[in-house]
Amino acid sequence: MAGNTTLRVIPLGGLGEIGRNMMVLEYGDDIIVVDVGLMFPEEEMLGVDLVIPDFTYLRDNKDKLRAVFLTHGHEDHVGALPYFMREFNAPIYGARLTDGLIRVKLQEHRLLQGAETHVIQPGDVITAGVFEVEFFTVAHSIPDACGLVIRTPLGLVVHTGDFKLDHTPVMDQHTDLIRLAQVGAEGCLLLLADSTYAEQEGFTPSEQLVGTALRNIMVNAEGRMIVATFASLISRVQQVVDAAVFTGRKVFVTGRSMIDNVAMARQLGYLNAPDGVIIGVEEMRNTPAAKLVVVTTGSQGEPTSALTRMANGDHRHITITKGDTVVLSASPIPGNETAVYRNVDNLFRLGAEVLYNRALNTHVHGHASREELKIIQSLLQPEYFVPVHGEYRHLVIHAKLAESVGVPKGNAFVLTDGDVLEIDEESAWTGERVPASYVYVDGLGIGDVDQHILRDRAHLSTDGVVVVIVTVDKQTGKLERAAEVLARGFIDVEEREDLLDRSKQVVADSIKGVDHYAEFGDINVRIRDAVSKFLYDETRRRPMVLTVTVEV
Contacts with a copy of itself by CB under 8 A lie at 16, 42-43, 46-47, 199, 201, 334-335, 337-338, 341, 344-346, 348-349, 354, 356-357, 359, 391-393, 396, 442-445, 448-450, 452-454, 456-465, 467, 469, 471, 484, 486, 488-492, 495-496, 538-541, 544, 546, 548, 550, 552
For 510, other C-beta atoms within 10 Å of its C-beta total: 23
Task: Write down the least CB distance from residue 259 to a copy of itself, Å.
Answer: 25
Q: Give ∠ CA 138-141-143 in degrees, rounded to 5.
A: 65
Query: Rounded distance, CA 70 to CA 56, Å?
Result: 20
Task: Write down the least CB distance from residue 472 to a copy of itself, Å.
Answer: 11
Helix (H, G, I), strand (E, B) or coil at 290: helix
Task: Write down the least CB distance from residue 322 to a copy of itself, Å.
Answer: 12
Task: Write down the least CB distance from residue 98 to a copy of itself, Å.
Answer: 28
Which residue pairs, CB below 8 angstroms and at least 24 apart, start in 409-413? Answer: 411/383, 411/384, 411/385, 412/384, 412/385, 412/386, 412/387, 413/384, 413/385, 413/386
- 422 or 442, CB closer to a copy of itself? 442
The secondary structure of residue 335, as a DSSP letter, is T
- 87 or 345, CB closer to a copy of itself? 345
Query: Rounded distance, CA 259 to CA 125, Å?
Result: 34
- 64 or 496, CB closer to a copy of itself? 496
- 227 or 233, CB closer to a copy of itself? 227
Beta bridge partners of 150: 133, 157
Query: Rounded distance, CA 179 to CA 197, Å?
Result: 23
Element (H, E) at 150: strand 146-152
For 537, other C-beta atoms within 10 Å of its C-beta total: 8
Task: Write down the least CB distance from residue 280 to a copy of itself, Å.
Answer: 32
Helix (H, G, I), strand (E, B) or coil at 249: coil
Beta bridge partners of 466: 487, 545
Task: Write down the least CB distance from residue 63 to a copy of itself, Å.
Answer: 28
Beta bridge partners of 487: 466
Task: Write down the least CB distance from residue 194 to a copy of itself, Å.
Answer: 18
The secondary structure of residue 506, as a DSSP letter, is H
- 132 or 484, CB closer to a copy of itself? 484
Phi, psi of 507 (to 5 degrees): -60, -50
Among the listed residues 477, 475, 466, 465, the one whose alpha carbon sits nearest the alpha carbon of residue 523: 477
Task: Write down the least CB distance from residue 424 to a copy of itself, Å.
Answer: 27
Note whether 137 and 160 are within 8 A (CB): no
Note whether 426 and 156 are within 8 A (CB): no
Task: Write down the least CB distance from residue 533 to a copy of itself, Å.
Answer: 14
- 238 or 503, CB closer to a copy of itself? 503
DSSP string, 44-78: TSTT--EEE---HHHHHTGGGEEEEE-S---HHHH
- 405 or 467, CB closer to a copy of itself? 467
Q: Which residues are catalytic?
A: 194, 367
Task: Write down the least CB distance from residue 49 to a copy of itself, Å.
Answer: 9
How would you label 121-143 residue by residue, b for 16+ Cβ within 10 Å and e otherwise?
ebeeebebbbbebbbbbbbbbbb
Query: Rounded distance, CA 411 to CA 15, Å?
Result: 17
Query: Rounded distance, CA 522 to CA 477, Å?
Result: 12
Q: Which amino acid is at 341?
A: Y
Beta bridge partners of 22: 13
- Pair type for strands 22-27 and 30-34: antiparallel
H-assigned helices in 382-425: 392-404
- Which strands form 419-423's sheet, in the order they lie side by side? 117-119, 92-94, 65-69, 30-34, 22-27, 7-13, 419-423, 428-433
Query: Rounded distance, CA 188 to CA 193, Å?
Result: 13
